[in-house]
Chain A
Amino acid sequence: EAGVAQSPRYKIIEKRQSVAFWCNPISGHATLYWYQQILGQGPKLLIQFQNNGVVDDSQLPKDRFSAERLKGVDSTLKIQPAKLEDSAVYLCASSLAGSGTEAFFGQGTRLTVV
């Protein structure tokens, strides 16, 4: 069974530029998460989708971050404009049905903002 796919693996941009990350979850998984993991810390939930609807985006900095999950499958996370403090690994995860079930993570996208 294919795992969660993310691209790109690495991205370096200058501050104030925009960037987008893509995630393809495991087939059939209804729940999709985007997490931000700053070096040395645990993952911080940015947004959670159930199919194509947003369940929780309370910690998403909506002035610069946006995410969508069209047709309830793939998802994109965008940052515009980027700040230095956005440098982190952005992890996408999916689960079959809600948070109580196992979350499968992708390898993440390491973003460096210079």
Chain B
Amino acid sequence: TQLLEQSPQFLSIQEGENLTVYCNSSSVFSSLQWYRQEPGEGPVLLVTVVTGGEVKKLKRLTFQFGDARKDSSLHITAAQTGDTGLYLCAGVTWGSQGNLIFGKGTKLSVKP
């Protein structure tokens, strides 16, 4: 069974602070996706990282895929209250019909 461990499980910070959340696995994935989910809604894709060592930036969000393609991190600079939500990483397994396996998520709360 391929598992994705996310840490921390919960994170509560003040607006303006920086934070990093982690996604780790013992399995190698063909690519990894990060989603953000708000209450009552489905997850929405933020980014897909494909190449080992890849770094992608999306405004104040920086995503990194580990060299061994087993882990990833999401760093948010100067968090805003609108960043509040559940951040989910999802690994794409190998094969033409690969699966999308989700971690349990990091619940982020940014307070004003």
Contacts and interface: CB of A to CB of B under 8 A. Distances in A.
Interface residues of B, number: 26
Contacts of B53: none
B42 A102 contact: no
A42 B102 contact: yes
B98 A102 contact: no
Given A107-B40, A107-B42, A99 B102 contact: no
A18 to B, nearest CB: 24
Interface string A34-48: 010000111111001
Interface residues of A, number: 25
Interface stretch (B12-20, B43-51, B61-69, B75-83): B43-51
Contact of A48 (B31, B48, B97): B97
Contacts of A103: 33, 43, 45, 90, 100
Contact of B42 (A48, A56, A105): A105
Contact of B96 (A40, A98, A107): A98
Contacts of A48: 97, 99
Interface of A: 4, 33, 35, 40-45, 48, 50, 55-56, 91, 93, 98-100, 102-108
19 contacts: A4-B42, A33-B100, A40-B104, A43-B43, A43-B102, A48-B99, A50-B97, A55-B97, A55-B99, A99-B97, A99-B98, A100-B31, A102-B33, A103-B33, A103-B45, A103-B90, A105-B41, A107-B40, A108-B41
